Amino acid sequence: MKIFSIFLIIILITCNSCFYDIPIEVDMAKKKVETPFEYEFLHSSREVILKQEHPWETQALFYFNVIKKDSLWQMWYMSIGEEIYNDYFGAFNYAYSKDGASWVKTLLNNQPIVEQFINYDEIENKYRMIGVVNIDGNYSTNIFESNNGISWNNVKRLYNKSYDTQFSVITKSDKFFIYQRIWYDELRTVGRSIIDKNYKIIEHPRVMLLSNDKDFPHIYNNAASKVGKNILLFPTLYNDDDSFKITIGFELENELYLTETNITEDLYFDESVKWGIVSPGLIPTDEINTFWLYYYGNSNSHNIVNYASNNVAKYYRIKIRIIPKDEA
């Protein structure tokens, strides 16, 4: 098991606008906080679960997330390639599986959607998606609904803005907590907003977390997941030299924290990967306190992956054991 200390970056914030860099005061004093869990990667479980096969995947595979509904595994993912490509939107795809490892793919290009995150509401028996669309040249963050996860209805424009990273949505009581990107002082940060089940905004986007690593000042994404009572994050940190690392964070008493750990090698050992992202939403396994973590890797770095020739893109999964401290 790995046990580590982490630091809180205290952020005092009042959000007056969700359309520009948000003015906040940041106290860079660091406060030690004990992490509420221990973790261990089961390296022998790692497997490649999806590769480039179709013309719309030839360049790269990007954001995706997986859910398990009864015995059906479902995936929604973005790709870019020779057949479908422009400066912002690639192809929006769906895949299904009987075991979470072998997938049957389908191209869903009826509406250009990006940065998407999908979950399933077992009570209302419907799928929900948050994502970014371009309608008549205007980018917006919208809410979509579906009965089958394939045909989607655009039900509400939430914000007249693209937040330019994959969303994560976690349900708490009757509210949806949306983890997203916010720019602050030319840095990528983790932000959060809250809406109710009627999609009414309760809390507008506000900065929640800055990087605590001077060598990797940007937090590229959040990859938030709910594990029991805990909210975990697996964000990619990034710098202007086009290098990255993946770390772990968590939420405690309505604040977000980053650990000092680096799990990049745990995910990509023996692989040639220069850019990678963990997907939000851990999937429970049959083993106690053990989950499938899904993620992707590209053989070219972030700044050139859209244009480099012969990029190799893969989706992976690996088991991670997470034990709350009160159970350890």
Q: What is the pLDDT of residues 31-44, one digit of tens each?
A: 568 898 999 999 99
Residues paired with 313 in a beta bridge: 298
Residues paired with 183 in a beta bridge: 188
HSE-up of 162 (CA within 13 Å, CB side)? Answer: 15
Q: How distant, in Å, are the alpha carbons of 1, 89, 255, 325 from that of 38?
A: 6, 38, 19, 7
Per-residue pLDDT, averaged over 252-260, amounts to 93
Residue 21: band (very low, low, confident or very high) from pLDDT cuts 50, 70, 90: very low
Q: Judge contact between 51 and 271, C-beta under 8 A.
A: no
Angstrom distance (rounded) from CA 120 to CA 69: 8
pTM of the model: 0.90
Total count of domains within the chain = 1
Q: Is the pLDDT of residue 8 over 50?
A: no
Q: Specify the pLDDT at position 88.
A: 61
CATH of the domain at 79: 2.115.10.20
Residue 93: band (very low, low, confident or very high) from pLDDT cuts 50, 70, 90: very high
Q: Is the pLDDT of residue 298 over 80?
A: yes
**Token digits of residue 167:** 């969303």
Q: What is the pLDDT of residues 152-205, one digit of tens each?
A: 999 999 999 999 999 999 999 899 999 999 999 999 999 999 999 999 999 999
Segments forming the whole domain that contains residue 240: 5-324
